[in-house]
A and B are shown apart, each in its own frame.
Chain A
Amino acid sequence: MKSFANVNPRNLKDAVAQLQKPNAVAVGGGSDLLGMVKEHLVEPDLLVHLRALRGLDQVSSKGGEVAIGGLITLDNLSHEPLIRDSYKVLAEAAGSVATPQIRNAGTLAGNVCQRPWCWYYRNSFPCFKNGGNRCFSITGENQFHAIFGGGPSFIVHPSDTAPALVALDAKFRVTGPAGDRTLAAADFFALPKVNASRENVLAPGEVLVSIHLPKAASGARSTYHKVLDREAWTHAVVSAAIVLDMDQQICRSARVVLGGVAPIPWRLPKVEAMLAGQRITPELAAKAGEAAVEGANPLAKNGYKIPLTKAVVSKTLLSLA
């Protein structure tokens, strides 16, 4: 790997200042970044280690709202009682990431901001993500690529926690040289048609500091279902994050978000509308599965994701009924 300097800032302000330096990158757990540096996918001159900051790895609750420091490890997040009790979808998503070793090091913010695992990108093909101007998956090996929202890049967003956070209607607090801003999880992620080289709206020098969850509904039930192509250590082939607010057997409202199928966490408003006010029966779940894949545009080798998505959506829904 290329030589770089390393700093451990003492506070957020210092971190933001360090990140203004040329070719600086923020490091959380470093579990993915280190590999990318070794592969020369990123060649930073300065690593700004955010893990040295105190207090950004905690979960706190105030007035029913929950704040999660972006530097909490995925393993700690998955075992946090408050999250397991009221935001099960997030605990399950965090617990499904990669391997125990990676969950012990990797952070929530790092997972949300993770770069794609498209093999063309990771093998340094000159694609959009590597500063080039084409997507090699379109005519290539695209079995793991997007069936929704693709073009001009067809990557899928790699994060397990991102669909869960969109489903929970989380807010993301971001800080940078221009100060703080807070945005809805759904507004954080950006389609390639907005910017094909990135996956979110973070400006240069900005970091994701914390994530804020609204008070869980009284009838909240949620879960994350991830399909892998071996039993551990792959990104989602397809995943579903579903949050329901149930009144006995009736679904008051629903948020349904897919992972592994689009360049961003892929929300399904039509499915959500179908579920509102309804009893979740096998028939309704099957219909929801059908509706989930409306508008899908498969490439040559990823058409299997359509029946798979249908099955995942309906199964996951039924598991909450």
Chain B
Amino acid sequence: MNTLNSVGHPSHRIDALLRVTGRADYTGDIHFPGMLYARVLRSPHPHARIRRIDLSRAQALPGVKAIITRENCDVIWGSGDTRNHRYLFNNPVRFAGDAVAAVAATDRHLAEEAMRLIQVDYETLPFVLDPEEALKPGAVEIQPGGNLSPNNRNERQPEVYKRGKIDEGFQAADRVFEDHYTSSHINNAQLEPRVAIAQWEGDHLTVYTPTQGISNCHTETARDLKIPPEKVRIVCHFMGGGFGNKNQNHDFELMAAVLAKQAGVPVKLEFTRKEDFVSVHGRWPTKQYYKIGVRNDGTLTAIQLRGYSGMGPYRKGAGGIGGIEIYQCPHVERSVSQVYTNMAVSANLRAPDYPQGVFGLESLMDDIAYSLKMDPLDFRLKNMTRKFNDQVPYTSIGLEECIRRGAEAMEWKKRFHAPGEGAGPIKRGVGMAMGSFFSNMGRSSAVIDVDSGGMYHVHVGVTDVGTAAKTTMALIAAEELGVPLEKINIIWGDTDRCPYSVGESGSRTTTHTGHAVVEAAKDLKRQIAEKGMPQGKDILTATANTNPAAAPNTARYSFVAHFAEVEVEADTGRVRVTKYVAAHDSGRVVNPLTATSQVKGGATMGIGMALHEELLYDRASGLPLNAGYYGARVMTHLDSPEIEVHWIETEDPYGPFGAKTLGEPTIIPSVAAVANAIYNAIGKRVRDLPITRDKILGVLA
């Protein structure tokens, strides 16, 4: 791969100094004179009809300026449920944490005191937490029309994918393996809780909010509030992460806007950490029933999955169970029921469909390899995807190289052994898993001005969810323009100043907006060649609104293989990840420094999901028990191993300088790699996430 001047060189974030010195103003740091503070009253029941809300005591409290409930606010949060109407305040309330009222007062403690003075008369209703239970006859109906939520074609049917003929696949098999797996609800657990400030100037609304996409947030906020988009401005200068749960617009932004309108002054609405865990979506819990046919030589003949995703009572995101496409196999059938339940709403968390599905799939593939007396590494090299869904060629594929390079770095041949082999109370084992992720290309815009001083002002609608998107855009601009990074000034995070960007979800910013930056830079170079550099107060401006696509009948994917070594104390059930290797084909790596951080972050989240993270519910009451960093057992520094990152930089003909997707693939195989390493260590399989001490001691007993 040819060497470039800016792209491909490790570069610190252009805003690193501001962030680490506390000078970056996050939304929570912003203050306006006379601003009110708001809190949200939430349902203490998983399912209940509200008979009556008495606001009189709350309204009587001095300092309380506005209260909104379903009675005086019928705003529909459009992106909160794209299939049914989800109001900001719903009746019936459908999960413990569903919003009932929001209060704005002169300080946040007063707002909370008022919130506690609101008296709500609930009629509690039966509830259901488990997605399979929710589909049984007699289960309480959570949404009109039943608990099977619509699939991607808006039919009340499971989401189904088929190729070949599954029965023929099983007939062609020498052996058929079946097992089932479960995964838990996991919260995104990003550092910065939800916080928005809404400010009206006449009929013009400005919302300061940590969003992953100012453009989507902008159009959806205007739509939900029924005001013209040109009257809405969204500002996000700095944000503290989201991992998918700050996509689109959100209820806290809309509530702040409605309260601010009512009160006539700016309103800041901030969630507590606990609210952020119970009332905002995370990864959906799943049940997965896999059946796989294989010939004695290890060739796959059929893969079947019947799965259930517990989406909570509203549908914000997809709800699939992904991963099967990493194997070549002639006969495949996948049916996933996306089910309404009375748990916290599930939607987007880093590679939403994948790590849980890959956990089940790769656990069973591992078992099959061992049963056939094959090294799981060889089994994967034999069966890994070579064409997408066995049909469509990839634009570039480095999966085999990921597996080989990762195995070498893990010293697989040396460390691998028969499952459970080895005496002594401390068992070591290695495991691996692989994955792929759609490397999307699509519409985005960029505007670049150059002034007579030679500074290039790049206007891009990115916000930087943590991927260093601003820096990525600067590197791409510097490369294409052929100027040093210091000559690039990025203008970001403000819909009044930036053109459309797809938003930092789906791992799309580098390929979408980065492409627009390249095209705008090319145009600007042409103008400069033609007219010369601007003089005096003149500027030259170039714009690009691009919608590139890969060649027809090709599939553009990133690939990944992760390898884990664990140490399991057989007598105490303690698991430590002692070595971790991640090998990624994301095409050209634009910024190896921040890209490596992405991989470390994704793998770390996956290790947490494998070993201890979950939002646990009390089955009797339907209430969450362990919301927050302490209770939900989010990863700490001491839990995080050294993660070794290897780049397989395939030559991809698309994307800016050949870059493919990175952010989300980083978590896809990590859960399964750890689970498979535990199996290799102890010779027993735990099929329910997270693989906690009690489960390990249980299978070893």
Contacts and interface: CB of A to CB of B under 8 A. Distances in A.
A311 B571 contact: yes
Contacts of B116: 40
Interface stretch (B184-192, B296-304, B550-558, B614-622): B614-622
A141 B635 CA distance: 22
A318 to B, nearest CB: 11
A277 interface: no
B633 A140 contact: no
A231 B573 contact: no
Interface in B578-621: 611-612, 616, 618-621
Contacts of A302: 694
Interface in A189-241: 227, 229-234, 237
Interface in B556-570: 569
A140 B623 CA distance: 11
Interface in B305-346: none
A304 B573 contact: yes
Nearest to B630: A233
Interface stretch (A117-125, A146-154, A179-187, A253-261): A117-125
A3 B701 CA distance: 52
Contacts of A141: 616, 618-619, 625
B586 to A, nearest CB: 30
Interface string A1-38: 11100000000000000000000000000000000000
B639 A230 contact: yes
Nearest to A225: B572
B113 interface: yes
Given A136-B618, A304-B693, A312 B572 contact: yes
Contacts of B624: 123
Contact of B694 (A120, A234, A304, A312): A304
B620 A230 contact: no
A143 interface: yes
Given A120-B625, A308-B572, A231 B636 contact: yes
B153 interface: no
B268 to A, nearest CB: 18
A5 to B, nearest CB: 14
A123 B623 contact: yes
B693 A140 contact: no
B164 interface: no
Nearest to B576: A231
B422 interface: no
Given A1-B112, A119-B631, A307-B697, A232 B636 contact: yes
Contact of B619 (A140, A227, A230, A315): A140
Contacts of B574: 227
A56 B612 CA distance: 39
B219 interface: no
Contact of B573 (A140, A301, A308): A308
Given A136-B618, A308-B572, A119 B113 contact: no
Contacts of A3: 109, 113
A230 B574 CA distance: 9
Contacts of A312: 572
Nearest to A40: B116
Interface in B63-121: 109, 112-113, 116
Contacts of B612: 229-230
A237 B693 contact: yes
A301 B619 CA distance: 13
Contact of B621 (A40, A125, A227): A125
A230 B626 contact: no
A308 B693 contact: yes
A311 B572 contact: yes
A229 B113 contact: no
B148 to A, nearest CB: 28
B569 to A, nearest CB: 8
Interface in B656-701: 692-694, 697-698, 701
Contact of A140 (B618, B626, B637): B618
Contacts of A304: 573, 693-694, 697-698
B682 to A, nearest CB: 14
B40 to A, nearest CB: 15
A139 interface: yes
Nearest to B623: A123
Nearest to B695: A304
Given A120-B625, A123-B625, A232 B571 contact: no
Contacts of A2: 113
Contacts of B694: 143, 301-302, 304
A233 B113 CA distance: 31
Given A123-B625, A304-B698, A307-B701, A234 B633 contact: yes
B618 A227 contact: no
Nearest to B617: A141
A228 to B, nearest CB: 9
Contacts of B571: 307, 310-311, 315
A223 B698 CA distance: 28
A202 B611 CA distance: 39
B637 to A, nearest CB: 7
Interface in A292-321: 301-302, 304, 307-308, 310-312, 315
B529 interface: no
Contacts of B639: 230-232
A308 B636 contact: no
B618 A230 contact: no
A230 B697 contact: no
B636 A233 contact: yes
Contact of A139 (B113, B611, B620): B620
A136 B620 contact: yes
Contacts of A1: 109, 112
B423 interface: no
A3 B573 CA distance: 45
Given A232-B639, A234-B633, A308 B618 contact: no
Contacts of A120: 618, 625
B285 to A, nearest CB: 15
Contacts of A119: 616, 625-626, 631
Nearest to B113: A2
B620 A140 contact: yes
A92 to B, nearest CB: 16
B622 to A, nearest CB: 12
Nearest to A124: B44
B638 interface: yes
Contacts of B633: 229-230, 234
B98 to A, nearest CB: 17
Interface in A236-283: 237
Interface in B158-198: none
5 closest Cβ pairs, A-B complex? A231-B638, A311-B571, A304-B694, A119-B625, A304-B697
29 contacts: A1-B109, A119-B625, A119-B626, A123-B623, A123-B624, A123-B625, A125-B623, A136-B618, A143-B694, A229-B612, A229-B692, A230-B611, A230-B635, A230-B636, A230-B638, A231-B576, A231-B636, A232-B637, A234-B630, A304-B573, A304-B693, A308-B572, A308-B573, A308-B697, A310-B571, A311-B572, A312-B572, A315-B571, A315-B572
Interface of A: 1-3, 40, 119-120, 122-123, 125, 136, 139-141, 143, 227, 229-234, 237, 301-302, 304, 307-308, 310-312, 315
Interface of B: 109, 112-113, 116, 569, 571-574, 576, 611-612, 616, 618-621, 623-626, 630-631, 633, 635-639, 692-694, 697-698, 701
Given A229-B693, A233-B636, 5 more contacts: A119-B631, A136-B620, A230-B639, A231-B576, A232-B636
